[in-house]
Each structure stands twice: as structure tokens, then as C-alpha cells.
Amino acid sequence: MTLHAAPVPSAGKRYFAMPPCPRCGDTLFAPEISEHVSAHEVRHRWSCEACGHGFITSVDLFRFRRN
């Protein structure tokens, strides 16, 4: 069996929480810390290994709620 790697489109990276570093553009794979801020919000704290830049993203869980 042969495996082939394929690049992930940028939309897929955003969906799977792999944001680029806002300073250098390197792809980040996992947040350093994730915390539930409320019943519908999760905050992720990121730190870029390439340049050391830190930033925070928020996820609104209501956005993914099924009706």
C-alpha cells in the first residue's frame, strides 16, 4: 500500500483549528491552553514556535449547534 500526502486547503486548516501565525504565517497545530469561558465560548491561547508570537482565538459553540 502506498500513501500519498496532499496539502490541506486553507479553509480546511481554519475548520480544524490550525490557524496561521499572524506575524510569520507558520501553521500552528494545537493551542497551548484551551479554556471554557462560558457555556458557549472556548478560548484558545496560541504560541508560535517559529517566531514566539502569542495570540488568542475564540470559538462560539452556538455557531456549531444543530437545530
CA distance 27 to 49: 10
Residue 22 located in a structural domain: no
What's residue 13's pLDDT?
Answer: 46
What domain range includes position 67?
31-67
pLDDT greater at residue 26 or residue 3: 26
Is residue 56 situated within a structural domain?
Answer: yes
Instruction: Give the full edge-to-edge strand order of the sheet including 54-60.
Output: 33-38, 41-47, 54-60
C-alpha to C-alpha distance for 48 and 54, rounded to whole angstroms = 6
Mean pLDDT of 37-53: 93
The answer to the question of residue 67 being in a domain is yes
Q: How confident is the model at residue 62 (pLDDT cuts 50, 70, 90)?
A: confident
Joined grid coordinates for residue 58? 475564540
Mean pLDDT score, 32-57: 93
d(CA 42, CA 13): 18
